[in-house]
Amino acid sequence: MAINPNGADESDVVGVIDGSVDSTTREFAIVLGENQVVQLDELVVTSQTLPDGTELHHYGIVTEGRNSIEGAEFASDTERITQGMTMPGLMSSNVEVSVLRTVPELWLPPKPGAAVKRASGAHRENALFLDQMEQPLPIGVDQSGLPVFADFSFINGEKGGHLSISGISGVATKTSFGLFFLYMLFETEAGRALLGKSGPLVRAVVFNVKGEDLLHIDRPNARYETKAGAPEQWLALGVAKPGPFERVRLYAPRSQSSTAGSLATDINSRDTGEVVAYAWTPQQFIRQGLLRYCLPEADDPRNQLSFVEQRVRVQLARWAYPLENEDGAVLLAPPPDGSSFNMDRVLQEKRPPRKADEGHPFRSFSDLIDFLTPLFAPEDGALDSHWAAGVQMGTALAFLRRLYAQAPRIGHLVAVGASEVQLDEPVTVVDIHSLHDDAQRFVVGALVSRIFEEKQGHGREPLRFIVLDELNKYAPREGRSPIKELLVDVAARGRSLGVILVGAQQSAATVEPTVVSNAAVSVVGRLAAGEAEGYKFLSPELRERATRFLPGLMVLDQPLIPAPIPIRFPFPAFSTSTAEDTGVSKEVKAKQQADAFERLKK
Amino acid sequence: MTVYVEDWQAAYGAPYLVRPEDQGAEQVELVEDAGRLESHRPEIKPAFPIVFVDGVRRGEAALYQHDSNTGAVARGVAGSHACGAVIATEKSIEFADMRVQRLVIWGSGLTGDLSDVTGGWSWDSKSIASTEPDAPLMELQERMRRAEGMLAERMADTHGLTIADGPLHYVRSRDLANPAAGYIKTHHRMLLRPEEHMRIPGLGAGERTSLFRLRNDRYSCYLRLVPSSGLSGPWAGIVRLEVPQSAGLKAAVELCDRLTATLPRFAGIPHRDPRAPQNLQPIGALESHLRHLLGHPGLAFRAVRQAVSSGLTPQGVH
């Protein structure tokens, strides 16, 4: 679209550039004309003709507004000027603008006195770099209800990857935004178009950390109808009929109170058949080396637990035989002669199943502890060097102690006959809310590492999205742990492997900096006053404002646009809490069943 | 004897400058209350709209023309004056009709143009015959007064009752749609007889004296704007009004009553205006606004030097 500022409607002029303060290449101020009202976050444009005839446009976003009475020297003058009407004064309305873009790209400040207009139409698209975006994804609406886009090529790993979401909990913005982002990708035409040919194979894993909230995203939101303005916002984003996520698989951990062989969950808000219980079989536990994620502090350089853990992890793989007639169970017995100490090689060995009485059967976590205890706390005090990796007795006992401690926390997640989380549907919700912190780390570590490993050597597409709240728990700023190493790895290399981390945290300051800094696109909701200072990409005004944000208002920072843009995202039409899910209507249920049959037929 | 402190800040002089030897003016005669000096407190509503007119001037650079053959020196001044109005109604008060003039005025009958300087600086060239060193500056003052008078006439014709800051004699026209009145803050001479003059400080706040005739064109009266604090002098807060005779005595009395009922509310604020309360709030605000409109004095001085130096540049050499 051609830009012709001279032909633009003069009524768009809101004021002129303030000459009493400096206008720079980064910011300027506007003296508003009489009766002009300009809000924060509005987009404006000002044009000037350079000496060589070039038409130069500056695009900006309003960051602060201020009114004052010129001529009032003392506070008491205000009354005389406005109420008593005995002293004249001039009302002055001023707004500050942060420069978003200069077209053409010349590093020149705007001209004082130049007229400033609201940026609409092609000007607005220019202001938001829409012409520069290769893969625009609507990601919210601005102050005026018009869509704001993020360049998906900075999220999907092409030019940049990962999405970082910050905000205090309780205002329900982080998870909601993560889900909104997934909805735009998976459930809208525009989103599917961005996912491209491999779209049907793209998967997202959402970890549910709070209540049973996210186990309802496949249901309509009962409160949606009561939210004024939500349909309009969705419409602005190109979604005429927002609804629940169409294809979701829900997973919940195997109940802690399960008896051997049972696979129930503790979920109350959904029917049994709707939620799949997950756990790992002993075989998966060993073959995926999940012992690593059982000992959260194993990487701490101050102790030697990691030596023991690594050794035990390999030894278990070497000692593992399939247990005859018990799928997933393992028989621990001395390895065949010449068995490698290299994990990868051991895993390639095809071993025949053996009978239970030929060694030590491993059907549950307790079996593992029973097996390891005599090795690490021998009656005669002599440690088996094959297992203990030459560490002192103290370390060996420390290893056992930690394993004992994890038994009640993680034990129930290792069971024969269990199924681990499978990414069959586009969106998979994995509930971890009821688990102990260590068990949460175990599940996240086990699942993310599997997803990451499956993608090694398979190219960027199809993408894998991992939506993980409370990132500070898994990759804290201080300390080392296997899961932290894994997430740092995902943050650094996930971009090229197509594993995209949608990470959320209360405060980015509490998360490992490499994880946060690797996210090309950041979204910030309401911040705690003490934490806002850490967000250097926010202007001082926005940092202050962010402590007062209401739910639904966030600031979007992306590489293309030099200033953060406040956005609003619509109230979801899918349930994001148990309370919002009042079940599905009969018609919908019938249609869902019909659809399911259709899919089966295909 | 009692000691008082003048309300005006010392740098602004004093409003009461009557000399002890002054024995009252001729051609002054009380015309109200059967020739006695009385006080009046009109119980009427304030008059709206009311317009306040004022002007400011500033010499920005003193100039010389020097004849090296005769050693003669002629003086000039580059400067500016501005005038404007404040229109007060019951519901609003705002600035109106601001005008700025930038002049170069030469004495000794000489002329000389200053060329324009970038940044919007340009001067109209004027001349006067006087050779007195301060005559050009006096002319600037005179021109400001005249501009002020003309503006007051325009305002009275188009908007309503108009107060001109200073005596009325620059308002030439007597046939205006609305009256114009003069507002005098400083008292240079004793106008009434000494025994009447000494009773003027006895006015209460919002009271005026009886009208008296001033020569053949004006009536006048004294008015107290605010109660005197015990510390201020007896003449603190007393101003004098001038109204034209042309509309007749009855109209003059009515006008003075209206002003007496209206002006005290606009009295200047002590902590804000060094000439409070006599300098009215609208006038004080107008003056600082006008001074602002004259532009930055340093820049004005620089512009004059630039204009003079470019004027001296021989033509054709750049």
Q: Band the pLDDT of B71: cuts 50, 70, 90.
A: confident
| Chain A environment of B225 (Cβ under 8 Å) | none
Judge: B285–A85 Cβ closer than 8 Å, yes or no.
Answer: no
| Chain A environment of B288 (Cβ under 8 Å) | 71
3-state secondary structure (DSSP) of residue A15: strand
Q: Band the pLDDT of B112: cuts 50, 70, 90.
A: confident
Residue A174 has pLDDT above 50, yes or no: yes
Judge: B265–A87 Cβ closer than 8 Å, yes or no.
Answer: no
| A246 interfaces chain B, CB cutoff of 8 Å | no
- The two counts, helices (H) then strands (E), for chain A are 17, 21
Q: Tell me which of B48, B92, B272 to substitute to probe the interface with A (most A C-beta atoms closer than 10 Å).
A: B272
A512 to chain B, closest Cα gap in Å: 55
Residue pLDDT, tens place only, A13-37: 999 999 999 999 999 999 999 889 9
Residue B61 has pLDDT above 70, yes or no: yes
Residue B54 has pLDDT above 90, yes or no: yes
The Cβ of residue A40 has, within 10 Å, a number of other Cβ atoms equal to: 16
| A354 interfaces chain B, CB cutoff of 8 Å | no
Of B90, B271, B285, the CB nearest to A89: B285
Of A74, A87, A90, the CB nearest to B282: A87
A79 to chain B, closest Cα gap in Å: 12
A541 to chain B, closest Cα gap in Å: 32
Q: Band the pLDDT of A172: cuts 50, 70, 90.
A: low
Residue with tokens 């101020």: A29
pLDDT at A587: 66
Q: What stretches of A452-589 adopt beta strand conformation (E)? A: 464-468, 499-505, 519-524, 553-557, 565-568
Q: Which residue has the higher pLDDT, A301 or A504?
A: A504
Judge: B265–A84 Cβ closer than 8 Å, yes or no.
Answer: yes
d(CA B5, CA A461) in angstroms, rounded, equals: 89
Q: If you average pLDDT over residues B188-216, what whole number do you get? A: 92
Q: Tell me which of A77, A86, A90, A91 to substitute to probe the interface with B (most B C-beta atoms closer than 10 Å).
A: A86
In this prediction the pTM is: 0.79
Q: Band the pLDDT of A298: cuts 50, 70, 90.
A: low
The Cβ of residue A7 has, within 10 Å, a number of other Cβ atoms equal to: 7
pLDDT at A6: 43
pLDDT at B314: 38
pLDDT at B172: 79
Of B265, B271, B285, the CB nearest to A88: B285
Residue pLDDT, tens place only, B257-270: 999 999 999 999 98
Q: Tell me which of A74, A82, A83, A87 to substitute to probe the interface with B (most B C-beta atoms closer than 10 Å).
A: A87
Q: Give the chain B residue whose CA is nearest to the CA of A86.
A: B266
| A86 interfaces chain B, CB cutoff of 8 Å | yes
pLDDT at B315: 34
Cα A393 from chain centroid (whole Å): 43
Residue pLDDT, tens place only, A178-228: 999 999 999 998 899 999 888 889 999 999 988 888 899 999 998 888 888
Of A71, A74, A85, the CB nearest to B88: A85
| Chain B environment of A81 (Cβ under 8 Å) | 93
User: Distances from the Cα of A583 to the Cαs of A244, A544, A588, in angstroms?
Assistant: 11, 40, 10
Least-confidence region, from A1-5, A495-499, B261-265: A1-5
| Chain B environment of A87 (Cβ under 8 Å) | 93, 281-282, 284-285
pLDDT at A182: 94
∠ CA A121-A127-A129, nearest 5°, is 105
Q: What stretches of A188-239 show up as alpha helix (H) in DSSP?
A: 189-195, 230-236
Please give the full DSSP string across B52-83, using - where no structure is assigned. EEEEEEEEEEEEEEE-TTT--EEEEEEEEEEE
pLDDT at A431: 93
Residue with tokens 């750049």: B318
Q: Give the chain A residue whose CA is nearest to the CA of B282.
A: A87
Residue pLDDT, tens place only, A507-539: 888 899 999 899 999 999 888 888 888 888 888
Residue pLDDT, tens place only, A56-77: 999 999 999 999 998 888 888 8
pLDDT at A307: 82
Q: Which DSSP helix (H) or strand (E) runs through A401?
A: helix A393-410
Judge: B90–A85 Cβ closer than 8 Å, yes or no.
Answer: yes
Q: If you average pLDDT over residues A295-306, what whole number do you get? A: 70
User: Distances from the Cα of A131 to the Cαs of A139, A569, B7, B247, in angstroms?
Assistant: 16, 22, 67, 74
Q: Band the pLDDT of A3: cuts 50, 70, 90.
A: very low
Residue with tokens 């705007």: A110
The Cβ of residue B11 has, within 10 Å, a number of other Cβ atoms equal to: 6
Residue B63 has pLDDT above 80, yes or no: yes
Residue A361 has pLDDT above 50, yes or no: yes
Judge: B95–A86 Cβ closer than 8 Å, yes or no.
Answer: no
| Chain B environment of A80 (Cβ under 8 Å) | 269, 281
Residue B101 has pLDDT above 90, yes or no: yes
Judge: B91–A90 Cβ closer than 8 Å, yes or no.
Answer: no
Q: Give the chain B residue whose CA is nearest to the CA of A81.
A: B93
| Chain B environment of A86 (Cβ under 8 Å) | 88, 93, 265-266, 281-282
Q: Which DSSP helix (H) or strand (E) runs through A100?
A: strand A90-103
What tokens does B82 get?
């501005």
- Please name every residue paired with A147 in a beta bridge, in sequence order, or none if there are none: A141
How large is the angle between the packed helices A393-410 and A305-319, nearest 10 degrees? Answer: 70
Between the two ends of chain B, the Cα-to-Cα distance in Å is 72
Residue with tokens 């003079």: B308
Residue A299 has pLDDT above 70, yes or no: no
3-state secondary structure (DSSP) of residue A158: coil
d(CA B269, CA B280) in angstroms, rounded, equals: 8
User: Distances from the Cα of A496 to the Cαs of A13, A296, A462, in angstroms?
Assistant: 46, 27, 12
Of A80, A84, A88, the CB nearest to B86: A88
**Contacts (Cβ under 8 Å, ≥6 apart) of A29:** A17, A18, A21, A23, A94, A95, A96, A97
Nearest to A216, CA basis, from A592, A580, A502: A580
d(CA A40, CA A546) in angstroms, rounded, equals: 13
The Cβ of residue B240 has, within 10 Å, a number of other Cβ atoms equal to: 20
Q: Maximum distance among all alpha carbons in chain A? A: 105
Evaluate the omega torsion of the peptide bond into residue A335 and state whether it is cis, within 30 degrees of 0. Answer: no
Highest mean pLDDT (candidates A159-173, A302-316, A471-485, B194-208): B194-208
| A80 interfaces chain B, CB cutoff of 8 Å | yes
**Contacts (Cβ under 8 Å, ≥6 apart) of B181:** B161, B162, B163, B164, B168, B241, B242, B243, B255, B259
- Which residues of chain B are at the A interface, by a Cβ-Cβ cutoff of 8 Å? 86, 88-95, 265-266, 269, 271-272, 281-282, 284-286, 288-289
Nearest to A550, CA basis, from A573, A568, A574: A568
Q: Which residue has the higher pLDDT, A260 or B68?
A: B68
Q: If you average pLDDT over residues A425-430, what whole number do you get? A: 93
Residue pLDDT, tens place only, A274-285: 899 999 999 999
Q: Which DSSP helix (H) or strand (E) runs through B165?
A: strand B161-165
| Chain A environment of B279 (Cβ under 8 Å) | none
| Chain B environment of A76 (Cβ under 8 Å) | 269
Judge: A88–B90 Cβ closer than 8 Å, yes or no.
Answer: no
Judge: A89–B282 Cβ closer than 8 Å, yes or no.
Answer: no
Residue A599 has pLDDT above 80, yes or no: no
